[in-house]
Chains A and B, each alone.
Chain A
Amino acid sequence: MADTTYTFPIGPVHPALKEPTMFKFVMDGEVVVDVDVQPGINHRGIEFIGMRRNVLQTLHLAERICGICSIVHQYAFTLATERAAQVFEVPERAQYIRIIMAELERLHSHLLWAGVAAHELGFDTLLHLSWKIREDVQDVLEIISGNRVNYAMYYPGGVRRDIPPEKIPRIKKVLDHYKENFQMLADTFLGDPVIKHRTVGVGTLSKKDAIATSTVGPTTRASGVMKDVRFDQPYDAYADIDIKPVIPSNYGFEDAGDVYANIVVRLIEVAQSIEIIEYALDNMPSGPYRAEMNVNKVLMMLRKADGEGFGIHEAPRGEMCHYVRLKENQDNLDAWKVRASTYNNILAWQKKLIGQQIADVSIVAASIDPCIGCMDRVAVVDSRTGKEKIMTDVDFHRLSVEKTKRLRK
């Protein structure tokens, strides 16, 4: 289908935030009656490459699976490697630095998503506002790691660099700034009548479906499912913090699994992340930040190791897993499997999109926060005429904006 009718492959202003996934919709007029998701345009064969390199090289490769959730893959990969090798005793300070970085990542990722969601609704002022606020957390990440994206913080047996005490006041300043701005952002997203109209009851996912299809992250929590790895199976310093999964009904909203509930979950998680970072900064124990400082020694330890490990991390988009198998006297990984969060949410897409209006497709698709790449485009089949027409993201965005304008009148 799409091969022959290809028009052009990319979205307009925010191409970067789309899964490189093709949808095939069967339409009846304006309503979606069936949808088929066909990913793979952005497939880079990363596991295959990883099986030809040693662990420390793969660490950098893992980070480049996705630029938005970069360290998330590095975290899960590091956990899997440590559990496979079982030779590293991760220092307590390193465990705290790890979760600080993971939560900063969540802050930036959720704010980024908030901007995209606003854009998909045709609310570009809010997009620019969210991204303006997001730049502050980028500054913090740069102060800690030296880079705005791809922070290279995790390392088997600890972290690559410390957070020295003189940097902490600067981090706290940004967190205070966020606390001041949070209410304004929450009021705009949750109180605006047009956003409510466009999102309440749109793209619902029932609790039963969410459990059956093993969805993860905010997508599943918006349906009222208590799944959060930081809570179910606390790892590293998360074990010291009492984290509750953010379920809309605990905050006076409905567990509807619709786009509105997704916004609620992500916004409250921003506040939750700020709390976690503050706690971790205040309670960070002193001591070393890496079990073994000598790179060659680390490589030798990994070379001698023999075993398999499974690392799970709660990424901004949900549970993220890496499976690693190491073989004795072999530099490269014997087996590696990466499971990104969106992978488990593909089936939820299908449930969410069926029965939606074509103008709502872009916001519903964005509500699971797809993350790998940017090549989406959609073939629309009209079930009455059987005619196939390729719609691009531009068209969807136009339809979405028009619908918002109609509602404003």
Chain B
Amino acid sequence: MDLKKTFDQALWVFHLNTGSCNGCDIEIVAALTPRYDVERFGIKLVGSPRHADVLLMTGPVTRAMAPRVKRVYNQTPDPKVVLVIGNCGTTTGVFYESYNILGPIDHFLKQIDPDVKIVYVPGCPPRPEAIIDAVAKAWLVLEELRGDNK
């Protein structure tokens, strides 16, 4: 399925840091500021998961964050897509053998929702272009979930 010329509605994203080093997070912010400016596509960072269509998650899951990852996921309304940004979130990356890192993000999401839709964005950190591209891909998944392939 191809991306349509226009989005049906604005895409709201919520950003959750599960123990990241900030590298991916500043690239997300960089994507919002004038050089990349995703707000012109209607992609907007919101302050609550309850308002979001897409969850941006960065970083390996630390011991303190593990229950909170699940909680935020449950708070987000369906249909939803999770964007795992960066190597640490996909595989725990360089932090793999720590006592305080419990695993990659999908490990926890699959425990509560086996059908979770995840778009992975590898990179340390991924460039803002890659993040924008991944949000567009998430949009395709969302359209499929909504079942409105006009």
Q: How far is the CB of A130 from chain B (nearest CB, A)?
A: 9
> Any chain B CB within 8 A of the CB of A43?
yes
Interface of A is mostly: loop
CA distance A14 to B62 in the complex (A): 21
Q: B49's closest neighbor in chain A, by CB?
A: A8
Q: Mark B64-104, 1 if CB is under 8 A from A, else 0.
A: 11001001100100000000000010000111011111000
B101 and A373 contacting across the interface, CB-CB below 8 Å = no
Number of A-B pairs whose CB atoms are under 8 Å? 151
> Any chain B CB within 8 A of the CB of A362?
no
Partner of A44, one of B29, B35, B60, B71: B60
Count class of interface residues, chain B: 35 or more
A13 and B47 contacting across the interface, CB-CB below 8 Å = yes
> Any chain A CB within 8 A of the CB of B112?
no
Known: A13-B32, A13-B47. A112 touches B26 (CB 8 A): yes
Partner of A45, one of B14, B20, B99: B99
Count class of interface residues, chain A: 35 or more
Partner of B100, one of A17, A45, A68, A375: A45
Interface of B is mostly: mixed
**Which chain A residues (127-179) contact chain B, with CB distance < 8 Å?**
127-128, 131-132, 135, 138, 148-150
Known: A13-B47, A40-B64, A149-B125. A49 touches B19 (CB 8 A): no
Q: A394's closest neighbor in chain B, by CB?
A: B47
**Which chain A residues (1-35) contact chain B, with CB distance < 8 Å?**
6, 8-17, 20
CA distance A169 to B106 in the complex (A): 46
Q: List chain A residues, Cβ under 8 A from B68.
A: 6, 9
A15 and B62 contacting across the interface, CB-CB below 8 Å = no
Q: How far is the CB of A126 from chain B (nearest CB, A)?
A: 12
> Any chain A CB within 8 A of the CB of B117?
no
Q: List chain B residues, Cβ under 8 A from A150.
A: 23, 124-125
Q: How far is the CB of A49 from chain B (nearest CB, A)?
A: 5
**4 closest A-B pairs by CB:** A67-B23, A16-B25, A12-B47, A131-B33
